[in-house]
Amino acid sequence: MNLVINGKEKNIADSLTVSQLLVQENVKMPDMVSVELNGQILRRTEFEETILKDDDKVEFLYFMGGGCGIN
């Protein structure tokens, strides 16, 4: 199936869950990522149970700290 991951089209094996996609895309710390699927932010508990479909649009949104005032 074809997915759009962070704006880039990608061909991925069928019936993958969001959790499996995180692993496949080498996201080492899923704790530091929010996932938006077709415009909706998923609950963390939904990562395991959500199966991706053809043409789904997935965004990985990373936690980013730094104004870098304190060192």
Partner 1 sequence: MGLTEQQIERYSRHIILEQVGGSGQERLLSSKVLIIGAGGLGAPVGLYLATAGVGTIGIVDFDKVDLTNLQRQIIHHTSDVGVEKVKSAENKMRAINPDITVRTYQTRVDAENISNIIRQYDFVIDGTDNFPAKFLINDACYFNRVPFSHAGILRFDGQLITVLPGETTCYRCIFNAPPPANAVPSCSQAGVLGVLAGVIGSLQATEAIKYLLGIGDLLTNTLLTYDALEMNFRAVKLNRNPNCSLCGENPQITELKDEEQVVCDLKSCKC
Q: Find all residues with CB under 8 Å of 31, minimum gap 6, and list them.
A: none
Q: Does 64 bind partner 1 (CB under 8 A)?
A: yes
CB nearer to partner 1: pick between 23 and 61:
61
Within the chain, residue ranges assigned H as helices are 18-24
For partner 1, which stretch binds (CB under 8 A), given 10-18, 39-47, 48-56?
39-47
Residues forming contacts to partner 1 in the complex (CB under 8 A) are: 6-7, 28-29, 31-32, 34, 36, 39-41, 43-44, 59, 61-71
